[in-house]
A and B are shown apart, each in its own frame.
Chain A
Amino acid sequence: MVKLRDFESTDFFEILKDRHPDKLGDWSRLNGTYDSNNHNFLEGTTVLALVYKDGVIMAGDRQATEGYQVGERRIQKVYKIDRHSAIAVAGVAGPCIEIAKLFQVQIEFYEKIEGVPLSLDGQANYLSSLVRSNLSLAMQGLIVLPLFSGYDLNHHIGRIFKYDALGGRYEEDTYYAIGSGGKDARSTLKKLYQTELDKETALSIAVEALWDAADEDIATGGPDLIRKIFPTFTIITEEGVSEVSEDIIGELFQDLISRLEQS
């Protein structure tokens, strides 16, 4: 007889742990401390988020490193979660992408079962527990760090949440950037950021922040004009989550380059 139990649970991660532990990574066999220069694990680099007047913009470069080598040139670091939220990940790419995927499934699972979407705060809290579930990996140096943003339909503002490797959740009300070039991106954002930015200005600030991150940090990828690979930009407003087209991103980088050439 087919058993269809677990009727009451809205926690997909819990169901997987309980019934299908094989589908979740068993990292316990990974011994010792991870040294990024001696292992062939892909690592994602810089992602950022900034609040502007209609919501939040999230952006990420496309490069992943493998020690001192370029591991991947077109990796995606920002993922849509539900109609009004998105996650950006930095750190060891494998578990990072898995957590983003699991998080997305979980939020949709909740919404379908309950019939109403999970609140933005609820989503941010849930992500804490997912990051915490990676604790044993984090202790070995395989750190997964998300940056989570969304449009809060109750308060009509864009919000940003950052996390530490222990699952600590902290809210930023202006901007934030994480990853190897995160600090460089933050410096640029710090100088240029203003409240109530319009969309165009906010996008050009984000472009400049990623440019500076790529300029200062060897692991972060800049715009690849020959292969036509550009960082991705995701905009979250009351209307939903949308991607900025590659043409527009290309133009924004061209504008920045000509500005830099003139000065």
Chain B
Amino acid sequence: MSTPYYVSPDQIWEDKKEFVDRGIEQAKEVIVLEYNNGLLMVAENPRKTIFKMSEIYDRIALASTGRVSEYEALRVAGIREAEIKGYTYYREDVTGKWLTNLYSQHMSAIAQAWDTKPLEIELLVCEIDGHSSVGSQIYKITFDGTYEEKERFAAIGGKADSILEFLENTYQEGLDIKDAIELAANTLESIEADAPESYEINPNTIEIACLDATLDRRKFHRFTIEEIDEILGNAS
């Protein structure tokens, strides 16, 4: 039996992180920001059936970027575990914090395993308070299961830092849905400012969804192309 090479844990972790960073660098951005009725989620996404944000449970949504097959598995698992929990106890007992923990444990276990590659994804677990329009939580989870709570707005994907920088200067509290979508669209355009051709967001290539406190039990709403057309058309 041959002696295995010694590789320092620091080095292993560094390699994994570098590997994921290379993947995430390519990943399209998703912006989540608070508006007067809840949370808005916006991403550039020309695809019609493969979404970046989706409904998990009554007040909870998931925004994700990176490898589709990887986050899709987590999306489905999240819905299933949430339904089982809600069925066992009560619908209001399913919380964003609980879901974040579930994802975090899973992602961290995969990142630490020696025989698998870490997940090349980033997630935002979004949750609004069911009873008022003010309360909302955003949890950002990265490949190793690390998560943090975000206030007002958050972003994932390759140019997340530029987005946060842009929003830091432009975001205002109490935006209505129209202004919030306009701000998100401007933000996405700003990060493409150095693209070779002039770049403009259009209804066919943007995906918009929200958690709207004014809706019934299921707060998630995905905007149709017609609805986006109307908002973006009027906004410009």
Which residues of A sit under 8 angstroms from B83, Cβ to Cβ? 12, 105, 108-109
Give B108 Cβ to nearest chain A Cβ, in Å.
Answer: 9
Tell me the complex Cα distance, A222–B230, Å: 49
Supposing A15-B84, A23-B87, A105-B83 touch, asked if A113 and B109 sit within 8 A by C-beta, the answer is no
Decide: B76 and A7 in contact? CB cutoff 8 A.
Answer: yes
Tell me the complex Cα distance, A1–B107, Å: 10
Residue of A nearest to B86 (CB): A105
Decide: A2 and B109 in contact? CB cutoff 8 A.
Answer: yes
Which residues of A sit under 8 angstroms from B102, Cβ to Cβ? 2, 4
B88 contacts chain A at the CB level, 8 A cutoff: yes
Decide: A112 and B79 in contact? CB cutoff 8 A.
Answer: yes
Which residues of B sit under 8 angstroms from A7, Cβ to Cβ? 73, 76-77
Decide: A1 and B56 in contact? CB cutoff 8 A.
Answer: no
Decide: B80 and A6 in contact? CB cutoff 8 A.
Answer: yes
Tell me the complex Cα distance, A113–B80, Å: 9
Tell me the complex Cα distance, A102–B54, Å: 22
Which residues of B sit under 8 angstroms from A228, Cβ to Cβ? none
Which residues of A sit under 8 angstroms from B51, Cβ to Cβ? 115
Give B7 Cβ to nearest chain A Cβ, in Å.
Answer: 22
Decide: B74 and A112 in contact? CB cutoff 8 A.
Answer: no
B170 contacts chain A at the CB level, 8 A cutoff: no
Decide: B79 and A109 in contact? CB cutoff 8 A.
Answer: yes
Residue of B nearest to A23 (CB): B88
- B56, B81, B83, B105 interface centre (most CB from chain A within 10 Å): B83
Decide: A16 and B84 in contact? CB cutoff 8 A.
Answer: yes
Tell me the complex Cα distance, A108–B81, Å: 14
Tell me the complex Cα distance, A253–B113, Å: 68
Contact size range, A: 10 to 19
Interface string of A7-30 (1 = CB under 8 A from B): 100001001100110010000000
Which residues of B sit under 8 angstroms from A109, Cβ to Cβ? 79-80, 83
Which residues of A sit under 8 angstroms from B2, Cβ to Cβ? none
Which residues of A sit under 8 angstroms from B73, Cβ to Cβ? 4, 7
Decide: A105 and B79 in contact? CB cutoff 8 A.
Answer: no
Which residues of A sit under 8 angstroms from B88, Cβ to Cβ? 20, 23
Interface residues of B in 74-126 (CB under 8 A from A): 74, 76-77, 79-81, 83-84, 86-88, 102, 105-106, 109, 113
Supposing A16-B84, A113-B76, A115-B49 touch, asked if A1 and B109 sit within 8 A by C-beta, the answer is yes
Decide: B87 and A113 in contact? CB cutoff 8 A.
Answer: no
Which residues of B sit under 8 angstroms from A1, Cβ to Cβ? 105-106, 109, 113
Interface residues of A in 90-113 (CB under 8 A from B): 101-102, 105, 108-109, 112-113
Give B170 Cβ to nearest chain A Cβ, in Å.
Answer: 32
Which residues of A sit under 8 angstroms from B79, Cβ to Cβ? 109, 112-113
Which residues of A sit under 8 angstroms from B49, Cβ to Cβ? 115
B212 contacts chain A at the CB level, 8 A cutoff: no
Decide: B87 and A4 in contact? CB cutoff 8 A.
Answer: no
Residue of A nearest to B74 (CB): A4
Give B41 Cβ to nearest chain A Cβ, in Å.
Answer: 16
Decide: B105 and A16 in contact? CB cutoff 8 A.
Answer: no
B55 contacts chain A at the CB level, 8 A cutoff: yes
Residue of A nearest to B91 (CB): A105
Interface residues of A in 176-206 (CB under 8 A from B): none
In the A-B complex, the 7 residue pairs with the smallest Cβ-Cβ separation, listed nearest first, are: A4-B77, A1-B109, A2-B105, A2-B106, A112-B79, A109-B83, A112-B55
Measured CB to CB, the residues of A under 8 A from B are: 1-2, 4, 6-7, 12, 15-16, 19-20, 23, 101-102, 105, 108-109, 112-113, 115
30 A-B pairs whose Cβ atoms sit less than 8 Å apart in the complex: A1-B105, A1-B109, A2-B102, A4-B73, A4-B74, A4-B102, A4-B106, A6-B77, A6-B80, A7-B73, A12-B80, A12-B83, A15-B80, A20-B84, A20-B88, A23-B84, A23-B87, A23-B88, A101-B87, A108-B83, A108-B218, A109-B79, A109-B83, A112-B55, A112-B56, A112-B79, A113-B76, A113-B79, A115-B51, A115-B54
